[in-house]
Each structure stands twice: as structure tokens, then as C-alpha cells.
């Protein structure tokens, strides 16, 4: 130890003190570690020396090995029994070296029957050299039925060769219903529940969609096999066997033919979500989020490159936009405002409001999408022409509380509880919500904007479709996929789920639906160009165009065209529709991301889908042949230049939030 | 009082001097252990380089670069960026957690090609560095005051809670204990630990709520392994059979039976020790433990030789972290403690664990090279 005061004095003195204390603690720490290491050594000594004999016996007994037999996973079927997920027999050719004798000759014989290139052959020879001679080496996998048959016949002349089969999950429709069906993948640590099945190396469990929601039913129960194995792991003989119990088939209400039709129809735009419901039963007949993804990429373990590509795509192929994408509903929300206003009595069908193109509230000006205004109009025309000022005024008279209460009844603001994971609840703003999230009081201007489905209002396409279903039935319809009744039989389903009545005013409901009829079927309606011309199939609907980003004053002054705006900043196009107007059975909601005007882009999709679904009528009929015409053969949109005023054609530019549609 | 001419003997080492001064014997020691790991992976794959051994070799070769890089960076630099490494790592953990939460399924890694980096494992190093800096700058009179322990306490608990929620019980535990050990050697009063232990004990029911079902099952099975012979207890039993049947000299390389028969899950990662112990017996197990002990003793020697408090704390922190991984892993496979899932350093298949250990050893070498540098409270070098 140094004497006090040498070198830098007190500082050094402190440092010396510090070092001494440090050394003391370090010694304690080292002692602790030595003790723990000693514990390990003594434990190893006990296991490997003292108890070694006992474990050697157990090791031999391990040769009587209990092996699990994985049950085949249940299939997922659509309402007519079309498999959306099943198990594919996977045939592979294996060779056992010790039985083959002359391996080269055997491989030569195989090559005479099926294609076997030089790379395959050298791989087989390499693996045989590396592995125990009784271990089967795969010669070729994914044999076709034909190849399998050819080899099977010749097996007696090919010593050591045999055909083995396994099961892999198969999705016949690939990306067409991937968001609904989901996919299976390797079991991760968080999935383990103690079920030994989950610990089998090749076991797969549902990770998304129906595969996840119905996993326990689909999974089945493990069987067991007691086998005797020798010291090298070769199975000598089977001692006992309890067969596995296969997973149950799960039937969902989807109509795969419609799903295919909708998917093809949606593929005409970059990024679309479309929901088709049976309004009476709440069954989801088609649910498309486009673009989709191939579920098989998850089955064999996701490659980082594929993950990067899927997760980096700005169109979000992995996300199910139909239930998890939340968008301002825009003008598709106006039926909610209308119904709320009629119910509350702040408006009658005869009430007139004058639209001059804008409305003043304090210092703020709220614009209508139509610069010159709509003049003096009543509710029916206001829906038909999607007048914003009319609904600003309506919302102002109504107040946010009554508006939010009606939105809540029609399914906005909270998840509907569809039976696949990942659903979002959207948002219906209220005074309490505003205070809780921002700490500031509700402004009346926000009520106005909420009245046209902009501002903080957010909804999923599923919610918008459900709104329409509730509107046409007057019941608290809940959309769902699982069909407890199983495959639909000819004659159709009679028992519809008994949804509680919403206690809506029937007259008010009829008025709103009549307005939506006018939107599509009367000249001057925003979606007249997208009407269904067959009278028995006629639909009613409401268009919407929701802003992704505020339009700046500069853009307003310069009249920027949509194609001059970056894709991700362009407006979303929405449409919600029901059909047939006489007795509505089907509802459809479509959102085309960043596509511009709802009446131009989204309405034709709803029209084509609703026309096709009415022709097919999957809610009531079992088709003779389970096929529909390809989407391409559907008649093109009736071109009506000049005939019907396509009101959405003129871009409306505004500094304040404006709903157009 | 003699004032030394400035710079004499204490000038920052030149890069060439640093390279010449590297402890190559330490590099050799690390390579030997990693070599044993590659052999074990070769055996676990039934005598194949695929799918694990080749990739592990590549990872080791790549991890040598950050190791040497860490060694060549001076201790003053490490002192200066200590808090930043902590903040960046913490943000990375939050980022991957968020992404796992938002995206589909849990992808708690950052893809770097060969290595899928899990920031939670890197946290142990970042935590040790920033605790080292904190306690280096804290005077002896202040260390006895509780209020100066709030910040380091938070530094430990914040990432621990995040990692526990991921959920990664093993990594969270090691992180917590490493942090506590650094506080211990920094001379935090024992009373503070007493208070901490009581508080921790009281929060246990809350931690229990955090645990997933499978983790609870593991703890139950540890308490009563026979309750579930085909479930979680099965693994511990199979692991013990593999070890025990290895005997004194083992069954010989590639001649293990138990560990090859797919009786064991994760035979290439958390249970890799059983493969070694079955094939090389008690002798092999002890040789490996001896190599680990040599690495740990090396760390202690460097710490005791360092003339700056920061280096001493960081060095012992790293060594303790390393020790904890070794101890918990072997104690787990021998059935001394419940299965918590931590890798065996330098042996288990896995990129981040390899990278973390090698990086830590690089830091130790940096501390060794700058063993004579004195740092004042602000981290500036000062003559003595």
C-alpha cells in the first residue's frame, strides 16, 4: 500500500481506498461463483458417476420408445363443401442403403422409371455416406401419382427402394382466401400449452384466420405408438399402437366461387378491401383484402427475404384490410346521420335546407364538395347527391351524443366480434373520448365533420357492410364465418340466426333506404353510372370519398389532379350497397385505397359483386355446378357519358375537411 | 509532490500498439470453446455439417470482427458512449417489440443476413457498460445514499420488464442478476440489496401473472417432474438419462444414443450440453467447465489489474453475465433449476448469443489494453 500524500495526494488516496473495497467485493463474488461451479461439478459427478448405472439402464429402456402419431388436420370447407384447406399426400421415394446392395445399380434402375438428374444422384450418394446405413435417404420428393405408380410396380426389382407418404397442408386457392383461411406454421415457444403434440418436430398449428380461430377443432388428438428401437435408433418392431383421432372439418359460410369472383374483380385496382355479407344471417360470403399472400410460405418456415418483401409492401398484403384496416367512412356514413336525425325528430323528410356550397360556424367555414352548392333540398336529394352542407346542418341540430349513439347501434366504434383474429374496432368519437385522449373539450365543428364521416371517425370495411346489413334488417346483425350448421343442403337454410331487433324506427329506415335507392337508380344520383340494369337485381347504395390528407390552399387554388398527387396521399374510394332493393338480402362494402372517387371506382365493384351474387344466390340455393363465370366475362360498366351526371367527376378542393361522394 | 510530464506512459495507445498488445491467448481460448461447440453441432446433426455446424462456423468467423473491433476501441471511448449503447439497445428492444405487436406473429429480431439479431440479448452488455459509467462517476460518499440508487435501479428494471413481457424469462433473469452484481461490486450497501430482495419478493405474484402458461407448467414440472412424464418433465428426465448414461468417459464422439434419438427438443440450442456430456462423459463435461472457468478467471484477473473503476466494473459485469449463462444452462439441463431456456455461451447454435459473448470478450480485451489508464469522474484520462 502506498503511503499517504505521494503522487496526486488525496485523490489517489481515495482511489486506493476504492480499489481495496472493490477487491473485497470481487473476492466475495468470485467465491460465490466458485461455490456455484462446485455445485455443478458435484451434480455432474452424481449424475455421471454415482447414478450412472441407473441411467444406463434407463437409457436401454429408452429403446422402448413411445412415439406420438400426429393426427391429420381437419379440412376447412366453404358453405358448399369446397375445400379451402386440406392435406396433400406427399409421396417421396426413399432408399435404405443397407438393403439396396449395389446402390449405383439401384439408382440406375430408378432413373429408368422416373426422372433423376445427376445432382439428385450425387446428393443421394453423399447423404448415404454420411448417415447410418439403415437411415432412409430421400431420393426424390413430390412424386406425381403417375411416377408413384410406376415405381410402386417395380419395387420388387429395386431392393432398398420404397415410397413413403406424408401429409402437408395444402391451400388449393392459394392467395384467394388467405386472409380468411389463415395459415399454419411451426409451433413457437409461446404456443406451447403442455400438449405433447405441439412438441413434435414437424407439427404445424394455425397462426391466422380460421386456421387459428378453430385450431383446437382442426387439430385432433394424438395417437401413440410403442416401438422397440436398437441402440442406433432403428425401429425393430412395433409393440402397441393407439391410432390418432383426426381433426374435425370446419365449415365456414364463405362461398368460394364468390370469393374468387370478388378477388378477380378487386385485382383490377392496386389495393382493395371488399366484404360481401348475407344481411339476414350475418354470414360472410366473401371477404377479400387485395393483394393477398400465398399462405404456403408460412408452412415451411418463413424465409427472412419473403418476410421482408411481404412486410415492406406499401399495400400491406399480410394485413386483412377488410377487418383490420380502418378508414374514415366519409359519405358512406351519411345514412347513419340521416337515420339518427329522423329518429330524433330534428329533421323530417320534408325539412328543407339550403346549400350555398358552404356553411359558417363561428369563424370556420365548412365547404360542400360542390362549389356552387345544391340549392334548397330535402333529405332524399341530400342523400342522392351527397350534399355535405345538408349533413353539416343535420349533425349540428342532432349533436354528437345522439349521432354517436346511433353509430354505436349500427356497429361503429367497437369490434363486431367476427370469429377470426385481428379485427379492429375503428373509432366513433364522443365527448368523453375527446376529453380522455386530448384533455380538451369537444368542439361543435367536430360534430359537423363527424356528420359526414370524416374527422376522427374510423371504420373497417366490415363495419361499413354490417351497418348496411343492420339498416336493411333492423336487427343487430353480427358478421361471422363459422357455420355450425355445416355444409348447406339443397333447399337452403331455413333457420336464420335470431339477431335482436335494434328498435329502429321503420319509417325512418325506409326513408334512408329510399335515399340510397335514389343514389344509384335515379339520374343525378352520385352512383347512377354504376346502377344494375336488370330491374330484379337493382341495388341501393351510398358512395364515399375519404381524405387521407388535407387538401392545402395551394392545391385548391391550382386545381391539382389526382394523378399529380403521390399514390399514398390520394383519397380512398368507398361504396356500400344492398340488393335487391325490393327485399334486400345481400350487402357489400368496398374500399379502394387511394383510388379517388367512391362512385367511380368502388361503386362498379359493388355493382359487379352484387349482380353476380344475386345470379348465384348462395344464401338460398345450392348451385348445380359449383362454378361462376370468370370476373372478366361480367359486363363492363354501363358507359353513360353525358347521360347521367357523374357528379363526383369534378374534384373538390377545400381547406377544411370535406366529404365527397 | 512530483508532477509527471504530460503524456508520459499514459498516452493513448497507438492502433499498432493495441494490435500488438492483444491477448491472443484469450482469442485462442475462445476459439477452442467455439470449436467444441461446432463439433457438438456436427454430432447433434448425426455427423453432418448441415444444418448447424457450417452456419455456426460462419457466425464465429464473423463475430471475431466485432470482438477485435471492441478490443481496439479505447476504454475512454467506451466510457463516453456507454449511455448511448444503452439507449440505442433499449430503443431497439422497444422497436422489435412494437413490430412484433403490430405485425403478424412475433418477429423479435433484426435481420442481418447470417445473424438474426435479438436486441434483448445485447442488452446485458449495454447495461453493464452504462452501470459501469454511472458508478464510476459516483463518489464513495454518495453510494451509501438511497436516492443515488434510483437511476441505476431503473436502468436495470426497465429492460428487464420489457424482456420479461416478450416473454423471455431466461434472458430477463440473467439481465437482472448481472445488473445486481455490478451494483454489488460497485459497493452498494448490503442493506439496499436487502430492501431490494424484499421488494422483489413482494412483486413475485405480479411476475407470476406475467408468465405464460408454458412457463408456469415448467415451474410446476420442476417441482414435481414425474407429474407429466410425456410433457415438460420428459425433457428434464431425458436430459438426465443422456447425461447419466454417458458415465465417466462417455460413449464416444458421434456415438451418443439418447441425444440423437430425438428424445430431446432443441438439441442444437439449449440442450446441446447433453450431447457433449453423453459422448464425452464426466471427463468431457469437466474439461468444458475448466475452459469456462479459465475464461472467467481471466476476466477477474483483468478486472483486478485495471486502474480505472469503470473498467473493473464492466469487466466483472461481463464475466458474471457469462458465468450466469453457463451456470443457468448447465444447472437447467442437469435438473438443478427449472427449464428457463438460456443458451450455453459459445456452444449453443444461435447468432446473437455468439455475437454478445464475443463482443463482451472484446470489451474485456479493451479494458486489458487500457489497464493503466486512469479516468477521472468525467471519464477523462488523468495522470497519476
Reported as a single tens digit per residue, the pLDDT across B328-344 is: 999 988 988 877 778 99
Specify the pLDDT at position A191: 78
Mutation test of the interface with chain B: which of A33, A42, A183, choosing the one with the most B Cβ atoms within 10 A? A33
Mutation test of the interface with chain A: which of B55, B105, B283, choosing the one with the most A Cβ atoms within 10 A? B105
Q: In this predicted model, which residue has the larger pLDDT, B45 or A1?
A: B45
Q: Are B251 and B278 in contact (CB under 8 A)?
A: yes
Contact assignment for A185 to B105 by CB distance below 8 Å: yes
The CB density around residue A17, as the number of other CB atoms within 10 Å, is: 11
Q: Report the C-alpha gap between B19 and A228 in whole angstroms.
A: 58
Specify the pLDDT at position B284: 94
Range B236-242 average pLDDT: 82
Q: Report the C-alpha gap between A292 and B301 in whole angstroms.
A: 59
pLDDT-above-90 percentage for chain B: 45
The H or E element containing residue A568 is none
Specify the pLDDT at position A557: 60
Chain B interface includes A194 (CB < 8 A): yes
Q: Are B41 and B52 in contact (CB under 8 A)?
A: yes
Contact assignment for A194 to B245 by CB distance below 8 Å: no
Q: Are A475 and A501 in contact (CB under 8 A)?
A: yes
pLDDT of A636 strictly over 90:
no
- Res. A645 pLDDT band, cuts 50 70 90: very low
Locus of grid cell 412424464: B229
Instruction: Say how far residue A354 (Cα) sits from the centre of its chain.
Output: 44
Chain A interface includes B140 (CB < 8 A): yes
pLDDT of B64 strictly over 50:
yes
Specify the pLDDT at position A659: 41
Specify the pLDDT at position B296: 96
- Go through chain A and tell me how many residues it has: 661
Specify the pLDDT at position A650: 34
pLDDT of A15 strictly over 50:
yes
Chain B interface includes A554 (CB < 8 A): no
Q: In this predicted model, which residue has the larger pLDDT, B303 or A244?
A: B303
Query: What is the distance in angstroms between the Cα of A233 and the nearest Cα belonging to chain B?
Result: 6
Contact assignment for B185 to A8 by CB distance below 8 Å: no
A420, A485, B170, B209 from A82: Cα distances, Å: 19, 15, 46, 43
pLDDT-above-70 percentage for chain B: 84
Q: Report helix, strand or coil for A566.
A: coil
Range A508-517 average pLDDT: 95
pLDDT of B367 strictly over 80:
yes
- Whether A331 is catalytic is yes
Most confident range, picked from A317-321, A435-439, B295-299: B295-299
Chain A interface includes B187 (CB < 8 A): yes
Greatest CA span in chain B, whole angstroms?
Answer: 75
pLDDT of A215 strictly over 50:
yes
pLDDT of B2 strictly over 80:
no
pLDDT tens digits, A371-384: 888 999 999 999 99
pLDDT of A561 strictly over 70:
no
Q: Are A212 and A421 in contact (CB under 8 A)?
A: yes
Chain A interface includes B227 (CB < 8 A): no
pLDDT of A468 strictly over 90:
yes
Radius of gyration for the alpha carbons in chain A, expressed in angstroms and rounded: 34
Specify the pLDDT at position B224: 62
Range B349-359 average pLDDT: 91
Nearest to A543 by CA among A572, A585, A568, A584: A572
Task: Share the mean pLDDT of chain B.
Answer: 84
pLDDT of A644 strictly over 70:
no
Range B29-37 average pLDDT: 95
From A21, which residue of chain B is nearest by alpha-carbon distance? Answer: B187
Specify the pLDDT at position A550: 62
Specify the pLDDT at position B218: 65
Q: For residue A78, which phi and psi values (nearest 5 degrees)? A: -85, -175
- Res. A274 pLDDT band, cuts 50 70 90: very high
Most confident range, picked from A90-94, A194-198, B38-42: B38-42
Q: In this predicted model, which residue has the larger pLDDT, B29 or A230?
A: B29
- Res. A627 pLDDT band, cuts 50 70 90: very low
Q: Are A277 and A466 in contact (CB under 8 A)?
A: yes
From A36, which residue of chain B is nearest by alpha-carbon distance? Answer: B327
Chain A interface includes B194 (CB < 8 A): no
Range A37-51 average pLDDT: 93
Specify the pLDDT at position B8: 40
- Res. A633 pLDDT band, cuts 50 70 90: very low
Chain A interface includes B214 (CB < 8 A): yes
Specify the pLDDT at position B378: 77
pLDDT tens digits, B165-190: 776 778 888 999 999 999 999 988 88
Most confident range, picked from A192-206, B55-69, B129-143, B217-231: B55-69
Q: Are A203 and A213 in contact (CB under 8 A)?
A: no
pLDDT-above-90 percentage for chain A: 48
pLDDT-above-70 percentage for chain A: 85
Report chain A residues whose CB lies below 8 A from the CB of B184. Answer: 25, 28-29
Q: For residue B138, which phi and psi values (nearest 5 degrees)? A: -90, 125
Specify the pLDDT at position A229: 63
Chain A interface includes B137 (CB < 8 A): no
Q: All 3 cell numbers of residue A427? A: 373509432
A267 burial (CB, 10 Å; 0-12 / 13-18 / 19+) is: middle
Q: For residue B169, which phi and psi values (nearest 5 degrees)? A: -60, -45
Q: In this predicted model, which residue has the larger pLDDT, A233 or A46?
A: A46
Specify the pLDDT at position B198: 87
Residues 12-71 of A with CB under 8 A from B: 12, 14-15, 17-18, 21-23, 25-26, 28-30, 33, 36-37, 39-41, 43-45, 47-49, 51-52, 54-56, 58-59, 62, 65-66
A500 burial (CB, 10 Å; 0-12 / 13-18 / 19+) is: exposed
Specify the pLDDT at position A643: 34
Q: All 3 cell numbers of residue A365? A: 367555414
Q: Are A657 and A547 in contact (CB under 8 A)?
A: yes
Q: Which of A244, A289, A290, A331 is catalytic?
A: A331
Specify the pLDDT at position A148: 83
The dihedral over CA atoms of B209, B213, B214, B215, expressed in degrees to the nearest 10, equals: 10
Contact assignment for B282 to A49 by CB distance below 8 Å: yes
The CB density around residue A440, as the number of other CB atoms within 10 Å, is: 8
Question: Cis omega before residue B51 (within 30°)?
Answer: yes
Specify the pLDDT at position A32: 95
- Res. A660 pLDDT band, cuts 50 70 90: very low
Query: What is the distance in angstroms between the Cα of B164 and the nearest Cα belonging to chain A?
Result: 13
The CB density around residue B346, as the number of other CB atoms within 10 Å, is: 28
3 state SS for A449-503: HHHCCCCCCEECHHHHHHHHHHHHHCECCCCECECCCCCCCCCCCCCCCCCCECC
pLDDT tens digits, A84-135: 999 887 787 888 877 777 888 888 888 888 888 888 888 888 877 766 666 6
pLDDT tens digits, A160-171: 888 877 788 889
Q: Report the C-alpha gap between A158 and A251 in whole angstroms.
A: 44
Chain A interface includes B185 (CB < 8 A): yes
pLDDT tens digits, B74-84: 899 999 999 99
Report chain A residues whose CB lies below 8 A from the CB of B263. Answer: 62, 65
pLDDT of B231 strictly over 60:
no
Q: What is the ipTM of this complex?
A: 0.90
Contact assignment for B300 to A30 by CB distance below 8 Å: yes
Amino acid at each position: 500500500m502506498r503511503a499517504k500524500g505521494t503522487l496526486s495526494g488525496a485523490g489517489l488516496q481515495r482511489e486506493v481506498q476504492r480499489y481495496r473495497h472493490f477487491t473485497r467485493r470481487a473476492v466475495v463474488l468470485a467465491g460465490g461463483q466458485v461455490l456455484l461451479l462446485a455445485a455443478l461439478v458435484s451434480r455432474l459427478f452424481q449424475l455421471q458417476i454415482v447414478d450412472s448405472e441407473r441411467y444406463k439402464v434407463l437409457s436401454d429402456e429408452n429403446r422402448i420408445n413411445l412415439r406420438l402419431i400426429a393426427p391429420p388436420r381437419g379440412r376447412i370447407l366453404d358453405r358448399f363443401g369446397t375445400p379451402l384447406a386440406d392435406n396433400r399426400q406427399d409421396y417421396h421415394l426413399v432408399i435404405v442403403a443397407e438393403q439396396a446392395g449395389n446402390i449405383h445399380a439401384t439408382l440406375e434402375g430408378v432413373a429408368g422409371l422416373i426422372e433423376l438428374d445427376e445432382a439428385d444422384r450425387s446428393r443421394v450418394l453423399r447423404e448415404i455416406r454420411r448417415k447410418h446405413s439403415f437411415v432412409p435417404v430421400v431420393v426424390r420428393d413430390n412424386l406425381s401419382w403417375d411416377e408413384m405408380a410406376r415405381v410402386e410396380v417395380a419395387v420388387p426389382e429395386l431392393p432398398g427402394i420404397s415410397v413413403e407418404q406424408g401429409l402437408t397442408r395444402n391451400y388449393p386457392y392459394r392467395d384467394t382466401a388467405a386472409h380468411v383461411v389463415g395459415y399454419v406454421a411451426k409451433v413457437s415457444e409461446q404456443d406451447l400449452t403442455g400438449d405433447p403434440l405441439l412438441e413434435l418436430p414437424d407439427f404445424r398449428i394455425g397462426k391466422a384466420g380460421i386456421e387459428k380461430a378453430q385450431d383446437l377443432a382442426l387439430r385432433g388428438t394424438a395417437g401413440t405408438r410403442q416401438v422397440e428401437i436398437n441402440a442406433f435408433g432403428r425401429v425393430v418392431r412395433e409393440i402397441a399402437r393407439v391410432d390418432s383421432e383426426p381433426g374435425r372439418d370446419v365449415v365456414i359460410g364463405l362461398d368460394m366461387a364468390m370469393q374468387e369472383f370478388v378477388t378477380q374483380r378487386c385485382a383490377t385496382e392496386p389495393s382493395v378491401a371488399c366484404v360481401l355479407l348475407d344481411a339476414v344471417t350475418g354470414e360472410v360470403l366473401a371477404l377479400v383484402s387485395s393483394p393477398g399472400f400465398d399462405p404456403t410460405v408460412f408452412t415451411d418456415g418463413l424465409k427472412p427475404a419473403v418476410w421482408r418483401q411481404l412486410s415492406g409492401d406499401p399495400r400491406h398484403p399480410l394485413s386483412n384490410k377488410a377487418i383490420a384496416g380502418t378508414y374514415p367512412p366519409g359519405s358512406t356514413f351519411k345514412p347513419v346521420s340521416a337515420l339518427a336525425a329522423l329518429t330524433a325528430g330534428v329533421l323530417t323528410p320534408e325539412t328543407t335546407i339550403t346549400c350555398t356550397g358552404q356553411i359558417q360556424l363561428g369563424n370556420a367555414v365548412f365547404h360542400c364538395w360542390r362549389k356552387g352548392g345544391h340549392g334548397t333540398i330535402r333529405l332524399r336529394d341530400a342523400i342522392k347527391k351527397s350534399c355535405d352542407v345538408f349533413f353539416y346542418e343535420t349533425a349540428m341540430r342532432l349533436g354528437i351524443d345522439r349521432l354517436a349513439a346511433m353509430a354505436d347501434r349500427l356497429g361503429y366504434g367497437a369490434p363486431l366480434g367476427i370469429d377470426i383474429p385481428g379485427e379492429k374496432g375503428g373509432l366513433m368519437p364522443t365527448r368523453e373520448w375527446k376529453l380522455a385522449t386530448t384533455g380538451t373539450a369537444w368542439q361543435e365543428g367536430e360534430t359537423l365533420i363527424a356528420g359526414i364521416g370524416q374527422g376522427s371517425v374510423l371504420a373497417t370495411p366490415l363495419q361499413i357492410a354490417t351497418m348496411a346489413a343492420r339498416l336493411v334488417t333492423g336487427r343487430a346483425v353480427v358478421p361471422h364465418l363459422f357455420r355450425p350448421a355445416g355444409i348447406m343442403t339443397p333447399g337452403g337454410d331455413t333457420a336464420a340466426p335470431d339477431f335482436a331487433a335494434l328498435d329502429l324506427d321503420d319509417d325512418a329506415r325506409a326513408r334512408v333506404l329510399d335515399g340510397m335507392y335514389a343514389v344509384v337508380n335515379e339520374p343525378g344520383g352520385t352512383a347512377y353510372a354504376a346502377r344494375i340494369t336488370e330491374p330484379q337485381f337493382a341495388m341501393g347504395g351510398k358512395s364515399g370519398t375519404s381524405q387521407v390528407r388535407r387538401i392545402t390552399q395551394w392545391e385548391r387554388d391550382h386545381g391539382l389532379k389526382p394523378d399529380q398527387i403521390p399514390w399514398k396521399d390520394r383519397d380512398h374510394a368507398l361504396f356500400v350497397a344492398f340488393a335487391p332493393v325490393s327485399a334486400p338480402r345481400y350487402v357489400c362494402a368496398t374500399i379502394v385505397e387511394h383510388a379517388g372517387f367512391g362512385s367511380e371506382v368502388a361503386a362498379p365493384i359493388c355493382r359487379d359483386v352484387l349482380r353476380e351474387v344475386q345470379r348465384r344466390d348462395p344464401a338460398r340455393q345450392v348451385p348445380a355446378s359449383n362454378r361462376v363465370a370468370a370476373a372478366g366475362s361480367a359486363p363492363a360498366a354501363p358507359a353513360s357519358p353525358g347521360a347521367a351526371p357523374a357528379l363526383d367527376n369534378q374534384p373538390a378542393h377545400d381547406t377544411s375537411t370535406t366529404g365527397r361522394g | 509532490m512530483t508532477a509527471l510530464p504530460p503524456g508520459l506512459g499514459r498516452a493513448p495507445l497507438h492502433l499498432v500498439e493495441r494490435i500488438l498488445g492483444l491477448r491472443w491467448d484469450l482469442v485462442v481460448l475462445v476459439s477452442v470453446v467455439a470449436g467444441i461447440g461446432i463439433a457438438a453441432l456436427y454430432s447433434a446433426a448425426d455427423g453432418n455439417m448441415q444444418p448447424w455446424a457450417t452456419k455456426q462456423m460462419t457466425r464465429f468467423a464473423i463475430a471475431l470482427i466485432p470482438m477485435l473491433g471492441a478490443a481496439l476501441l479505447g476504454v475512454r471511448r467506451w466510457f463516453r458512449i456507454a449511455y448511448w449503447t444503452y439507449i440505442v439497445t433499449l430503443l431497439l428492444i422497444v422497436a422489435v417489440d412494437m413490430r412484433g405487436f403490430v405485425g403478424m406473429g412475433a418477429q423479435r429480431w433484426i435481420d442481418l443476413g447470417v445473424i438474426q439479431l435479438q436486441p434483448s440479448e445485447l442488452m446485458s452488455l449495454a447495461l453493464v457498460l452504462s452501470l459501469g459509467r454511472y458508478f464510476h462517476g459516483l463518489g464513495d460518499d454518495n453510494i451509501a445514499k438511497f436516492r443515488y440508487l434510483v437511476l441505476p435501479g431503473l436502468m436495470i428494471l426497465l429492460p428487464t420488464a420489457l424482456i420479461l413481457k416478450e416473454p423471455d424469462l431466461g434472458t430477463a433473469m440473467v439481465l437482472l442478476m448481472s445488473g445486481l452484481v455490478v451494483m454489488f461490486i460497485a459497493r452498494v450497501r448490503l442493506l439496499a440489496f436487502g430492501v431490494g430482495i424484499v421488494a422483489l419478493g413482494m412483486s413475485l405474484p405480479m411476475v407470476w401473472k406475467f408468465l405464460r402458461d408454458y412457463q408456469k407448467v415448467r415451474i410446476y414440472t420442476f417441482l414435481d417432474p414425474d407429474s407429466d412424464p410425456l410433457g415438460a418433465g420428459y425433457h428434464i428426465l431425458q436430459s438426465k438419462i443422456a447425461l447419466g448414461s454417458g458415465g465417466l468417459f462417455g460413449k464416444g464422439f458421434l456415438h451418443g444414443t439418447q441425444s440423437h434419438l430425438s428424445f430431446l427438443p432443441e438439441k442444437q440450442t439449449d440442450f446441446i450440453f447433453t450431447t457433449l456430456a453423453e459422448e464425452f462423459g464426466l471427463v468431457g463435461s469437466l474439461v468444458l467447465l475448466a475452459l469456462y472457468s479459465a475464461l472467467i478467471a481471466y476476466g477477474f484477473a483483468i478486472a483486478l489489474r485495471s486502474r480505472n473503476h469503470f473498467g473493473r466494473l464492466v469487466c466483472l459485469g461481463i464475466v458474471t453475465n457469462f458465468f450466469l449463462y453457463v451456470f443457468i444452462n448447465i444447472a437447467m439441463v442437469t435438473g438443478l433449476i427449472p427449464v428457463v431456456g438460456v443458451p450455453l455461451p459459445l456452444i449453443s447454435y444461435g447468432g446473437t448469443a455468439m455475437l454478445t459473448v464475443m463482443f463482451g470478450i472484446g470489451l474485456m480485451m479493451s479494458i486489458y489494453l487500457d489497464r493503466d489508464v486512469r479516468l477521472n469522474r468525467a471519464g477523462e484520462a488523468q495522470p497519476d
